[in-house]
Every structure is written in C-alpha cells, then in structure tokens.
Amino acid sequence: MELMMLRARMDAIDRELFALLEKRMDVSAEMAAYKKAHGLPAFDEAREEQMKANIRYLVRPETVDMMMLMYDTILQTSRDYQNEMIEKDG
C-alpha cells in the first residue's frame, strides 16, 4: 500500500478519534454540572482506577502500555476540564 493511502487512512481515523474525544468532553461537561450541583469533586480515584483496569480487557496485550499512557492523558484532561467548570462562577 502506498504511503499516501496509509496517510489518508490515518487522517480518517484521526477525524473519527477527535469527534469521539469531543463527544467525551461534552459528557465531561455534563458530569461537571452534576458534580457542581451535588458538591462532588471532579476526581474520583476509585472510578478512574476501575476505568483503567478495563483497558486490559479492551485492547491487545501488546498495546496496553501505550493505551494506558494515552488514557491517563485523556482522564487528566477531562478532570482538568471538569475542575474548570466546577470552579467557574463560584
């Protein structure tokens, strides 16, 4: 397969990935509103550990470490976004 075709496939995957990440952030915003209304913190350590444990069952063994690294970034970004929204306007 030509490099240009591989790049086109990668670009299409990136578009899908970014669309899904934006949807995830939309849900994160809804969660922040709920947490703010109920006086809950953005960070729930038990929930995050549960989510990370699931990765081992969702991905191929050879990609677990890479996926964990990426997922840590996704979780941190989501948590930061929720904290911003919770702290916004008091």
User: Tens digit of pLDDT for each residue in 43-69?
Assistant: 999 999 999 999 989 999 999 999 999
Please check whether residue 86 is in contact with residue 35, taking contact to mean a CB–CB distance below 8 angstroms.
yes
Q: Tell me, what's the pLDDT at 90? A: 61
Total domain count for the chain?
1
Check residue 1 and give its pLDDT. Answer: 76
pLDDT reported for residue 88:
87
Q: pTM (2 decimals)?
A: 0.87
Q: Give me the CATH number covering residue 37.
A: 1.20.59.10
| CB-count burial class (<10 Å; 0-12, 13-18, 19+) for 82 | buried
Identify the domain containing residue 40 by its residue range: 3-87
Mean per-residue pLDDT of the chain: 95
The pLDDT score that the predictor gives to residue 59 is 96
Mean pLDDT, consecutive 10-residue stretches, the chain (90 aa), reads: 95 98 97 96 94 93 96 96 87
**CB burial readout 14-33, b (16+ within 10 A) else e:** eeeeeeeeeeeeeebeebbe
- Residue found under tokens 């997922």: 71
